[in-house]
């Protein structure tokens, strides 16, 4: 599952539109969101910008005394909101030591936001672009950790999660 427009992985291993799959009508994209996860944006103290993608800007922030990462949706277009809802739906269901931990979201006011744990070591691309490259042993550990997280996502039932944006 999981890319713009609600794609799912078919039995043949291809991404197909959710509407064209046997799961059509059986998968709720956003209605699964639990209001328990709702965060009041006033409780987020934004710090520096740490990243940017096609649909969102990521900031380091403080939330109730804890440093977190906050992805802020750039625009409220139909495609961006669809991707946001899909990401939110997936994040709240994914629990594994090698995936980022979802903490909550802002969905009642704009801009919409997703709050996750803050990864103090930076992204994989940050690590591998650093002037001091990790040792071979550390590189192997990172690769294994990534593989474990991806294996967990790919093995999820009833639908595999296809990441498509590993950084």
Please state the domain extents for the chain. Answer: 7-154
The candidate with the shortest Cα–Cα distance to 73, out of 63, 85, 91, 61, is 85
Residue 84 dihedral angles phi and psi, to the nearest 5°: -60, -50
pLDDT digits (tens, 9 = 90+) for 140-154: 998 899 999 999 999
Predicted confidence at residue 86, as pLDDT, reads 85
pLDDT of 22 reads 64
H/E element, 104: strand 102-106
- Which H or E run contains 89? helix 78-91
Residue 100 to residue 116: CA distance in whole angstroms: 7
Q: How confident is the model at residue 13 (pLDDT cuts 50, 70, 90)?
A: confident
The pLDDT, as a whole number, for residue 82 is: 85
- Where does the pLDDT of residue 47 fall: very low under 50, low under 70, confident under 90, or very high at 90 and above? very high
Q: What is the CATH number of domain 7-154?
A: 3.30.200.20
Residue 74 known to bind ligand? no
Looking at residues 13-21, what average pLDDT do you find? 69
| Beta-strand pair 102-106/113-117 | antiparallel
- Local confidence band at 72 (pLDDT 50, 70, 90 cut-offs): very high
Residues with catalytic roles: 165
CA-to-CA dists, residue 147 to 8, 97, 124, angstroms: 21, 12, 13
What pTM value is reported for the model? 0.74
Q: What is the pLDDT of residues 104-161, one digit of tens each?
A: 999 999 999 999 999 988 888 888 787 677 788 988 998 899 999 999 999 887 777 8
């Amino acid at each position: 599952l999981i890319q713009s427009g609600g794609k799912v992985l078919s039995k043949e291993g291809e991404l197909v539109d959710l509407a064209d799959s046997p799961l059509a009508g059986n998968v709720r994209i956003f209605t699964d969101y639990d209001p328990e996860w709702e965060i009041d944006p006033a409780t987020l103290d934004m710090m520096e910008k740490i990243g940017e993608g096609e649909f969102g800007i990521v900031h380091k922030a403080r939330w109730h005394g804890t440093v977190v990462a906050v992805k802020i949706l750039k625009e409220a277009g139909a495609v961006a909101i669809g991707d946001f809802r899909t990401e939110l739906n997936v994040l709240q269901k994914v629990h594994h030591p090698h995936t980022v931990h979802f903490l909550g979201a802002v969905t009642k006011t704009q801009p919409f936001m997703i709050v996750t744990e803050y990864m103090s070591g930076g992204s994989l691309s940050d690590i591998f672009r650093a002037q001091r490259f990790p040792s071979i042993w550390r590189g192997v550990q990172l690769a294994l950790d990534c593989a474990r997280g991806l294996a967990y996502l790919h093995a999820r039932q009833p639908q595999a999660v296809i990441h498509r944006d590993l950084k």
